[in-house]
Amino acid sequence: MRLLELAHARSGDKGDTANIGLIALKPEYYPTLVKQVTAARVARHFDGMIKDKVERYELPNLHALNFLLHGALDGGGTISLKTDAQGKVFSTALLRMEIEVPR
């Protein structure tokens, strides 16, 4: 199943780093996100699109995960030549990920 069916997301920038806040659509989906959407898995998902590491932070109170994708924005801000220089749609790019849902 696509992550799109379990979560919503918003992304933004800090310099050359894109952040993606990934939020479970229902609280009961959150443990699946924690288990499967790891920093390593996200780094593989964005292979070729980012130059540096991925960090993950947990916000269990909001049923959300926050990812920092370093070196994602071709220098970021005004330097970047990218259409998405501010990382606004990395959010939905993450939601393309395929997830195994426990039955």
Partner 1 sequence: MSQTGPLPTVRIAAGQGFWGDWLEAPYRQVTQGPVDYLMMDYLAEVTMSIMQKQKSRDPSLGYAKDFIPLMERILPTLVERRIRVTANAGGVNPRACAQAVAETARRLRLGGSLKIGVVTGDDLLRRLDALLARGHELRNLDTGRPLSDVRDRVLSANAYLGAWPVAAALRQGADIVITGRVTDTGLTLAPMIHAFGWTRDAWDLLAAGTVAGHTIECGAQCSGGNCLVEWETVPDLANVGYPIVEAHPDGTFLITKHPGTGGRITVAGVTEQLVYEMGNPAEYITPDCVADFTTIRLSQAGKDRVQVSGVRGRPATDKLKVSIAYFYGYKAVGTLVYAWPDAYAKAKAADRVLRQRLKDLGLKFESILTEFVGADATHGPLALRETRVEDLPEVQLRIGVRSPDRAAVERFTRELAPLILNGPPSVTGFAGGRPKPEEIVAYWPALIDKQVVEPCVELVEV
Per CB under 8 A, residues contacting partner 1 are 8-17, 19, 21, 23, 25, 45-49, 57-64, 66, 68, 74-79, 81-84, 89, 91-93, 96
Based on CB atoms, which residue is closest to partner 1, 32 or 102? 32
User: What is the gyration radius of the CA atoms in the chain, in angstroms?
Assistant: 13
Provide the minimum distance between the beta carbon of 1 and partner 1 in the complex, in angstroms, as a whole number. Answer: 15
φ/ψ of 47, rounded to 5, equals -55, 130
> Where do the H-state alpha helices sit in 1-103?
30-36, 39-45, 90-94
Provide the minimum distance between the beta carbon of 56 and partner 1 in the complex, in angstroms, as a whole number. Answer: 11
